[in-house]
Amino acid sequence: MSYEPRLQRNATAKISQFLHETYRTRAAYDVATEEIRLALLRLAASPKLAVSPPGPFETRPIYRFALNADGSNREVEVCFCFDVNDPGERTILITDFREV
C-alpha cells in the first residue's frame, strides 16, 4: 500500500538548510534534491523500510538513506509518522531530518 509523503515545516527548513550548507554548486544541489525526493517516495511506497532504533527519534520510526550528489557519501535520516489528520491514513508525515 503506497502513501503520500508530506513534510512538516520544521523538516522542510532543516532539509533546505542542509542543502544550502552542504552543496555549493547548483548541479550538486539539484542532484541532492532529487535524491531526497526519490528516497521519500521509496519510503512512502514501503514504510516498512524504516526502523525504530533507540536514539533521538525513539518514539517514531526513522528511515536512513545516502546522498551522493557531489561524490561524497552522506548518510541522512528522516523521522516520520502516519498523519493523524488524514482520515484515509494515506499520508506519511515527515517530522524531522538530520545528517548522521
How many folded domains does the chain comprise?
1
Supply the range of the domain harboring residue 10.
Answer: 4-99
pLDDT tens digits, one per residue of 50-98: 887 666 556 778 899 999 998 899 999 999 988 777 777 688 999 999 9
- Residues paired with residue 76 on neighbouring β-strands, in sequence order: 65, 99
**How confident is the model at residue 63, as a pLDDT?**
92
> What CATH number corresponds to the domain at position 73?
3.30.2310.20
Residue type, 41: L
Residue 11 has pLDDT above 60, yes or no: yes
**How confident is the model at residue 56, as a pLDDT?**
59
Residue with C-alpha cell 513534510?
7
b/e burial code for range 24-37 (CB count within 10 A of at least 16 → b): eeeebbebbbebbe
Its pTM stands at 0.87
pLDDT tens digits, one per residue of 26-59: 999 999 999 999 999 999 998 888 887 666 556 7
Average pLDDT over the chain, rounded to an integer? 88
Q: What residues contact 73, with CB distance under 8 A and at least 6 apart?
A: 66, 67
